[in-house]
Copies of this chain bind each other. A is one copy, B any other.
Amino acid sequence: MTISFTVTKKNHACRARLGLLHTPHGTVETPVFMPVGTQATVKAMTPEEVRNAGGRLILSNTYHIYLRPGHELVKEAGGLHRFMHWDGPILTDSGGFQVFSLGPLRKVSEEGVTFRSHIDGSEHFFSPEKAMEVQMALGSDIAMAFDECAPYPCSPEYALGALERTSRWAERCLAVHRREDQGVFGIVQGGTFPDLREKSARELVGLNFPGYAIGGLSVGEPKNLMYEILDYTVPLLPEDKPRYLMGVGSPDCLIEGVARGIDMFDCVLPTRIARNGTVLTRRGKLVVRNAEYASDFAPLDPDCSCYTCRNYTRAYLRHLIKAGEILGIRLTTIHNLHFVLELMKEIREAIHEGEILEYRDRFLKEYKGV
């Protein structure tokens, strides 16, 4: 199998576990956070900087690359790894979440989704077959099945329809998938309804994917509801396959997700808030563009060992961001990626020591949400 997974350590007090995710571009320790490279670049970073920050596996967005520069061009360039100069593993999403997020710009049928480009308004059609075609052209290590992500909140009837369609589309994805060097993950839907999550998981697990994502979360529901859904959904998934919680990346959710048995995460949060002048610290977020930091000559986070914190002050970072200088965004992005990836490293160490719940409690005591 292209993608394989080894659980190397389990915790007894909760579902947290350590694992090794083997891919055609190398093995990755889990739990892992995937920095997001939407348009074939992790915004503002070179691949070397992503790696230095601790990034090992990145996510790229099928929808965006399909529209620009186009998957055929990337294929001609030798695939996404070569195109963007990243030699580690890449996971591509299916484009489903993006096209469903387009709202009035899209129309759904059993066949697939017709949508208009957010760039130029041109009309496009995505289907399970198309999502596989595009991802095969990109050559990511992990492709995601094309799913229907139900909004939050939604009725059980709507959630049922979406999960059943997701199952049918998952079969169609597998039927056309041809790359030996690419694994396809299924996506469990079912909204906030335990019986629907169970039905979705049962149907997808029956298709024997090498990994499973839990979709339809982090779409506006309260965090406690998300944790509750993880509590009853994770046990429905095979022990020996990686579990991926899509779109989650705030520090507290990462730790709570790991404690509930999640192995993989992705989120634009660390890079997006960085571009807005907000950074993550152990005490919570710090809006370095605020006036209070104008003559603060301390580093962003005195406990942090990243390039930014070793060499620059809050006052300088605030100046750069206020002046619209690219270096400001670069430096806050470096810090935030380092912060989240360092957190994941600590999480893995805590699991190794069998102390993830103690680690969580210590972390959350100091941390004031984002």
Contact = CB atoms under 8 A, between A and B. Distances in A.
Contacts of A45: 327
Contacts of A330: 44, 46, 326, 330
A15 interface: no
Interface string A26-62: 0000000000000111011110000000000000000
Given A83-B316, A85-B311, A330-B46, A39 B73 contact: no
Number of copies: 2
Contact of A44 (B85, B311, B313, B326): B326
B77 A325 contact: no
A84 B326 contact: no
A311 B84 CA distance: 9
Contacts of A329: 326
A44 B297 CA distance: 22
* Majority DSSP secondary structure for residues of A touching B: loop
Contacts of A325: 39, 41, 43
Interface in A306-335: 311-313, 315-316, 318-320, 322-323, 325-327, 329-330
A330 B44 CA distance: 8
Given A69-B323, A76-B295, A326-B329, 9 more contacts: A39-B323, A41-B325, A43-B326, A43-B327, A44-B326, A46-B327, A69-B294, A83-B313, A326-B330
